[in-house]
Structure 1
């Protein structure tokens, strides 16, 4: 996403309009309103946000989850110790068990946060970032694909990281790499939980799916025929869940239970023979184009499939001759030739269950020269007016699946760039966001997409359309499982956004919706301001100072929320606030920060046991400079005199402030003497 633009067209969120004569002063950093971030790009065709989908997926898993042996003991261990190390064979449902363990914690129900190893921006040797642990978080660290060397490094940091987890009253499930049991210390071995399947677990999972799908589970007793054939090799639990879903889908078409099982088994086996036979029989260009279009647009309307097939034929074989329209064979006949049909609603489907998925796999596997043209074809088809929103979403998802399966994730990145170039083309912008979302959710390539989005977010040359796509993907999607990574990217986008608009609003709303992130953004801003205030660089000093004024609101800092104490009570947070205010005092005119300072003085006069911290931070931020301390004292006196209600604490504030300033000035002399003598 590197397309440059110098023209800003359209509605700019968060920007005031000058409607009268004379100068205008806009303190946008002090506006205390509810920021609205458009979510139309990241929502699915049913209007659900990624956060809603993640929560519903967790509930869906809960309703179909069959607990392994010893699960309740693992739940109690997690509640008591804050950490469980989960071990098991591949295919035994480790990830599902980890999520269900975390769901049993007595915390606010929401998406599980997946921990990322390593720091994205700083040169650090640490793999586990303590700053990622928030109050009552539910954390998942999946090391199942890591090697022994990675585990040794994680183990060295695990003790201190667990201390942070316990301090925040959070819970963490760590899925261990295979074959490292001998490397566990006695303390860690006590936290281990080894997954073990009870007899008949596979059938119980299938019955749970049947029950949730409104099907009588006793129909599966005893296992016979195709069901017994499936269960005999002791399949992985993920395969069991897939088979059960196919069975429930087959049941929707009627027939007997044995027929459903046969259809489900054929679908599970991928229909490879059937798909290969269709590709072998359908060899001519036009019928094969219709075959591929039907596989990619399965369940779309017939006119959409027809037009898409014509576009594919033209893209792959521009020299292909076409007959006059009156000589064309009817679409229904051509669909019959490829074993497809239109249903009562005019939507095109194959006659067999999961034939479309098998065909897509075969096309990408057996026709590698077609991958590039198919990418370009998908890029064009997604804008067709004949397609509904669900059809477009399904098309992007299917293309993403094949891109990952063929180890071509860059095809998805290329399309997301193309689709995000046209501001007014909403279908393409939605497709761009959908493509990035699938990339972020992919287990193998998720890190690649996070890094690419990080690279884009640091670019100064994003168009409005590209910026909108990135903002919504970070705010709506990435923030669900990796909120801290989303915060980093939104911060980059916000500080490069002139004038301030969508990215700033998204960042503010993200932090307002998740109190755990306020600590993180204040720490980032403190580091950035300390660096930008140096003698050699002023990069983003103004932007980060404005952001600090937005996030340094005392109402949020003094709010307990679900915590045992507010953020202002934490010494690390106060140090970050001191650093931020120090830059504010040293770089901004008083009228820029007076409004926020008044709110801080008001917070200092509340009966909160932590109210005194607000004055301490302001005084410390002056860094013992007499001019800044004098300005702060004058602001405090004027604020107190202007209060309509003169209670005891308001009247006493100037005196309290004067004493703290005096103490700060007295502490300056020994420090100066020590500096002179060394």
Structure 2
């Protein structure tokens, strides 16, 4: 039996010694929950969930056959037909040989609007979602389709392209045979599937379908709205637990859910003018922004908002004023059994928030100031902070107020910001990057910030967002941003630790990082890149080092050559010892590849060759060290490598810091 030619390194979920020297670990709670698996596995899990709730539209098997036979399929459909979900499901149903990821036009470091072809890996399953593309972007990517498809074929990959519906007729004739039009799935079946998969609801509850639900479905809502409707039905069921209900409870849940989907905006618009007092409106808006937060916190926050917008103070004596329960009732809210404020009607909180944000644009600035202010209150617990941050972020995205979002992130990541503020900034960016409509803007924002000298808090926030959120759908974008964060952080920082952990968790990402380092290190040998490379080749936190891949092997040789030329032996020596020891314990093919890389890089570096041979003595099977010596001798006789480019040495001041 042949062995898989990979060098396996052990996985570590804790701190990693990212290079030689002492390691000091200072533990702080993560800003975002740690994923239970690698980004690749998280992406596959999301696809499995989508597949479980997906209702197959008519003819989708034809689209699958096109994708299997031609490795490319172009999907079109009316907005709201579920075309993007269909593309993801098709890719999920393929054999899981390569990596699933999304392609996005534009490579920041080249400044061109193109699909980066180097991101197409062997056996990859890729989504190119152009559903929101404008005419300019569509034209640029359309001109590249032949080049993209040739690369897909050469790499034995698969690509699903979602076309922009207004321009789909412009698809070139040569690609028409790969096109498939997505038909809208049966809306009732979509809702039923979500209720069954997500809520365990049996068909005996929703058969026959209530008239109120059929009336709503007749309006042909978007497929994504059907998922939200099912969520509201399940929420109505939870809220009704323990309450006596006459008749069919499912009908009542549907009435509440469809009401939240359709009637609430007009209802709120008619309700607010009836609240003549400014303080009463402040209580209404506060209850919506802090929906589900403790009643005493809502009371205090409402008073603070009223003061901020200069509402007149209450002049009546305290004992003559209305109680809080009475005032909450006047805005259709009440404390629940746990003392948290909730509206009595499903979806009313969202409609209230959107009414004030959309209908009173002059209120946005003071409301944002209020959010920043009360976020600092000790009385606001973590659930309340998460609710507040999510709500203000969604409001900003609804009006594409990106500047306000970025200002909030800056405020929450200033120097000496508290831990919960950093967590709020991370939550905000996670929400933005998880939105199909707005993610592109915030990927660009994260990229721009990663290339600057930013506060330690913003660097940590960006690091976690890249490793835990962006890496799931855009692995290369996460890699690029983590690399720039590493270049701009102090020695042994969290960005480098995260980048090493991320790269070692996924061999394709590791290969890409090696090639990226090899592109720069020989000609622009940054001290940070040399330290990063030495951390990368140390054992302790990875999955596999694919040294038998010719491109990776060339990249590793270039990197080692730059390390030998520009780094001190006290830094690279321990890494050489580990590399040689790994070679001695590896299968023959891998062992030879490891030695070829190291000895090839050190061919004109006597000190490095001596260290390699000293490390090899006494290791491996009998005669192994003699074989190492023969390789060293052969390398010394052969042509010299690029390691002799002494003119590219780092300044002495920087070399001593490597």
TM-score normalised per structure 1:
0.83
Residue matched to 1:309: 302
Structure 2 residues not aligned, in runs of 5+: 1-13, 644-658
Matches within 5 A, 1:251-400: 251-252=237-238, 253=240, 255=245, 256=248, 257-317=250-310, 320=313, 326-400=319-393
Q: Identify which of 190, 193, 199 aligns with 1:205.
A: 190
Question: 1:399 deviation in Å?
Answer: 0.8
- Whether the aligned pair in 2 keeps the contact of 1:14 and 1:502 (CA below 8 Å) is no
Distance 1:664 1:556 in 2: 35
- Whether the aligned pair in 1 keeps the contact of 2:413 and 2:421 (CA below 8 Å) is yes
Matches within 5 A, 1:431-446: 431-446=424-439
Question: 1:243 deviation in Å?
Answer: 2.5
Q: Identify which of 591, 602, 613 aligns with 2:570.
A: 591
- Whether the aligned pair in 2 keeps the contact of 1:210 and 1:217 (CA below 8 Å) is no
Q: Identify which of 544, 547, 550 aligns with 1:571.
A: 550
RMSD over equivalenced CA pairs, Å:
3.5
Residue matched to 1:616: 596
Question: 1:229 deviation in Å?
Answer: 1.6
Residue matched to 1:418: 411
Distance 2:165 2:477 in 1: 28
- Whether the aligned pair in 2 keeps the contact of 1:39 and 1:476 (CA below 8 Å) is no
1:139 aligns with 2:118: no
1:195 aligns with 2:182: yes
Question: 1:138 deviation in Å?
Answer: 3.4
Indicate how the Cα distance of structure 1 residues 366 and 85 shifts in structure 2: closer, same or farther if over 3 A, else same. Answer: same
Residue matched to 1:5: none
Matches within 5 A, 1:488-637: 488-533=480-525, 541-552=526-537, 567-605=546-584, 606-622=586-602, 625=604, 628=605, 630-637=606-613
- Whether the aligned pair in 2 keeps the contact of 1:494 and 1:500 (CA below 8 Å) is no
- Whether the aligned pair in 1 keeps the contact of 2:16 and 2:541 (CA below 8 Å) is no
Structure 1 residues not aligned, in runs of 5+: 1-12, 17-27, 534-540, 669-678
Distance 2:153 2:572 in 1: 38
Residue matched to 2:104: 116
1:569 is paired with a residue whose SS is coil
Distance 2:281 2:550 in 1: 67
Matches within 5 A, 1:478-489: 478-489=470-481
Matches within 5 A, 1:149-228: 150-166=137-153, 168-178=155-165, 180=167, 182-184=169-171, 188-197=175-184, 201-212=186-197, 213-228=199-214
Residue matched to 1:654: 629
Question: 1:148 deviation in Å?
Answer: 5.2
Residue matched to 1:676: none
Question: 1:76 deviation in Å?
Answer: 4.2
- Whether the aligned pair in 1 keeps the contact of 2:20 and 2:571 (CA below 8 Å) is no
1:646-668, Cα deviation, whole Å (9 max, x unpaired): 61222221022202321226999
TM-score normalised per structure 2:
0.85
